[in-house]
Structure 1
Amino acid sequence: MDKNTIWMIIGFTGQGFFSARFILQWIKSELKQQSIIPLGFWYFSLLGGATLFAYAIHKEDPVFIVGQGAGLFIYSRNLYLIRKKSLEEKT
């Protein structure tokens, strides 16, 4: 398998993770019969974003790099805030 094929697989894998977050959100919302954003949404966002960020760096695409980089900050921040709230509720 050549290098370009491996990077294409990485890119599609990242896109798959990124898309899975919406499927997860839709299923959870249907089960609750209200719009919710489950914790897994943020983990899929982070996983997909990190994979796509690596792919963007490989492709040397500055627009894609900036977009995914900003997203990684947002996903990480949301996970931090969720964790912080969870720890505060335990004390």
Structure 2
Amino acid sequence: MLYDWTNQTGQFLYEVFVQKFDFWFAFGLLAQLVFTGRFMVQWIASEREGKSVVPVAFWVLSLVGGLMTLVYGLERRDAIIILGQVFANVIYLRNLVLIAKSRRRAGAKPA
């Protein structure tokens, strides 16, 4: 029984990670790494400030990683990825717009 489970697991991993490896697999993996990198940026920024903060780089990496993941989902014709990333990217872009507006207002105030 353990042998069968180990053999089936090995076959599954080989099929998923070796047989299906192509350009789009590598692109999707890179997209996921960019998207995951945003959490490292947020964690480091929070540690430096000594409190929870969300730096602009978090939203930039969210948008870049999200757009890359959307392209991957479109190429793979995966409705779940497409729907999730379309809506998420709207939020990331909106946050960047709000940050830009806030910075413009702060820069326009008299000293």
- Shorter-chain TM range is over 0.9
1:30 correspondence with 2:21 = no
Letter paired with 1:30? E
* Aligned residue number for residue 55 of structure 1: 72
Which of 27, 31, 50 is the equivalent residue of 1:10? 27
| Post-superposition offset of 1:65 | 0.2
Larger radius of gyration: 2
Aligned length: 88
* Aligned residue number for residue 10 of structure 2: none
Unaligned runs of 5+ in 2: 1-20
Percent identity between the aligned chains?
Answer: 36
Which of 58, 68, 89 is the equivalent residue of 1:41? 58
Deviations 1:47-76 (A, max 9, x none): 000000000001101111000111110000
* Aligned residue number for residue 80 of structure 1: 97
CA distance in 1: counterparts of 2:74 and 2:41, whole angstroms:
27
| Aligned-CA RMSD value | 0.8
After the TM superposition, which parts of structure 1 deviate over 4 Å for at least 4 consecutive aligned residues? Answer: none
The TM-score, its normalising length taken from structure 1, stands at 0.93
| Post-superposition offset of 1:19 | 0.3
The TM-score, its normalising length taken from structure 2, stands at 0.77
